[in-house]
Amino acid sequence: MRALLLVSLCASAACLRTVALPASLRRAGVSLRTGVQLCEAEDDAVRPAAANSAQEIRLQAERLALKAEKAALEAEQLTLQAEQIKFATAQRRRETDASGATTPEPVPTESSAKPLDRDPWMADAGQRTDSAPESESPAPIEASAGGIFNLSLAGPNGSAPLKGQLQQALEIRGLREPSELQLTAAQTALIKSEVFDIETFYTMKVEDSPVGTIFRGNLRADADVVFPRVQERLANASRSPQAEGLAGVQLLLIEDPLPLTLAQLEAGDEKRPVFLALGPKAAEMRQSPGDLVLAFVSLLACSFTVLGYALSSFILTDDGKLIEQLQNGDTEPLMLALPIALGVGGLQLLHEVGHLLAALRSNVKIGFPVAVPSLQLGLYGCVTRLFSFPPSRSALFDVAAAGPMVAGVASLAVYVVGLVLSFDLPPLPAEPGALYPVLPTALLQSSLLLGTMAEAILPDLTSSQIVQLHPLAVIGFTGALLNALQLLPVGRLDGGRLATAALGQGAAGIVSGIGLLLLGLQSIISGDNPILLYFGLLVIFFQRAPDLPTANEYTGLDLTRQIAAGSAFLFMLLTLLPCPVELVYPAVPL
């Protein structure tokens, strides 16, 4: 429309210039030219203004989109707080019904639904720090239940809260005061401003707990992408002069310790991941001097029990004359048993060295191994505690699998060599002076794998109730059995840690309970073999204590490690299961 007006004005001015008209009309033409010039000047001014207006509209649209996403997050935060209020109300009702008293239901206040404390899209770090209000302090957890890392659960009638597994694991390692684990208000603000960002984790709520400070919110990407980025930002921030307070702070990505409500369970909801922040004190976990003394005493005790086990393999040798010599003060039987004792101890040392090398490679701190003596096998292995959080489930797998896999393969190799050397030994009854271990054939048949290997190499094995073996066969048999016992998926055994790495904490707890049940049934069925019974009792009393979780619970194992875990458990089953058919041996005069 404006273009048509300009064309008309220009045409009118041209006519006035060419036609002789009165002065008044010529003055009108001059006015028209002036109007045309004014319109052209106005168009030149409007063009950049229109461009600026379009850019402002586009920016306003982007701001509205960001505000809409922020409003959605606030609504999600309010929903979560409402579910927590419902859970607390239901918990108080259950306590009221149990005590017979009546207490008023909690009424949510206006302060319980707070808006987000900062704009997550602010890119400047200084603005993020300034926007975090100091008045917002982490709220302590009053009640929670369920889950592997349940933090605090109010006892009946207001009694002391029950301790969760993570809290027990930390207390075993000397961290008993919540103040040693929780972050300060300044550290919390630094974590929110310098470590978390919109691309990793959006914080909606911060709570103090007996095991540290919990950051609740939303993961902005997959755990295997978010966790390395958060760890990198934490490491960079801790080296910055502006964030010196973060030095030594650890962040764990674990499952939300609060249980799901009934409505969430019916809707099929799953627990959300949370970040658990631990203060610098958690990085100072050390083995106590008492544990070191216990390790030395147990090692001394195992030296005697292993030597006694090695001597027991010569009870049937030379019609028992070696035992008579020992009773008469002759040290010759000890010299015969010493190589077997050293071989069994050497395989266990190889087991522990495997753990140590894998721990150094994976940056995991482990304690000094505490050997467990045994009258049946000389020793039941060693108890090795974790004194740092494994960086990932893959790191936990590497540390747990290195010992039994290296020592297990070595034990099988030694066992095969010993069986081959036993093939050339003279048949029983042996000639006088033949000083080789003599074992009951049923002992080899107590293991499906080891018994089958013995039958394949020694064809005449089933023709006698006893068998004469080379000392290497006894060493390999003992080492294979010890490593198979350590691979049971129970508690803090190597197998329990492998199950945790492969399946996660929740599923590993279920597998551990099933493993204990099957262990008890097997010990009852195999009444003539008390090894499983005594080992099961040992695990129940000493190895079921909670273990430290991995720093990242949400990233599983790769395919190679999954196959290795399956192979390890298969070796354990084949070694501990007895032969399916009980053989009847002819009587042999002794």
Mean pLDDT (the chain) is 77
On the question of pLDDT at 37 being above 60, the answer is: no
Q: DSSP code of 581?
A: S
Predicted structure pTM score: 0.71
Q: Which residues does 157 contact at the CB level (< 8 Å), separation at least 6?
A: 95, 98, 99
Higher pLDDT, 557 or 130: 557
Q: Tell me, what's the pLDDT at 503? A: 92
Concatenated DSSP letters for 472-495? Answer: HHHHHHHHHHHHHHHTSSSTTSHH
pLDDT tens per residue across span 375-419: 889 999 999 999 999 999 999 999 999 999 999 999 999 999 999
Higher pLDDT, 546 or 348: 348
pLDDT tens per residue across span 327-349: 777 778 888 889 999 999 999 99
Higher pLDDT, 192 or 127: 192
Percent of the chain with pLDDT strictly greater than 70: 74
| β-bridge pairing 201-209 and 162-163 | unpaired
Q: How far apart are the first and last CA of the chain?
A: 124
Q: Which amino acid is at 244?
A: E
pLDDT tens per residue across span 271-302: 789 999 998 888 888 888 888 999 999 999 99
pLDDT tens per residue across span 566-579: 999 999 999 988 87
Residue spans per domain, the chain: 117-284, 289-576
On the question of pLDDT at 156 being above 90, the answer is: no
What is d(CA 440, CA 448) in angstroms, rounded to the nearest whole number? 15
If 0-12 CB within 10 Å is exposed, 13-18 middle and 19+ buried, where does residue 340 land? Answer: buried
Q: Tell me, what's the pLDDT at 38? A: 52
On the question of pLDDT at 527 being above 80, the answer is: no
Q: Tell me, what's the pLDDT at 51? A: 58
On the question of pLDDT at 152 being above 60, the answer is: no
Percent of the chain with pLDDT strictly greater than 90: 33
* Identity of the highest mean pLDDT range in 52-56, 156-160, 489-493: 489-493
What is the average pLDDT across 313-322? 76
Q: Tell me, what's the pLDDT at 269? A: 77
What is d(CA 128, CA 441) in angstroms, rounded to the nearest whole number? 74
Number of H helices, E strands in the chain: 18, 11
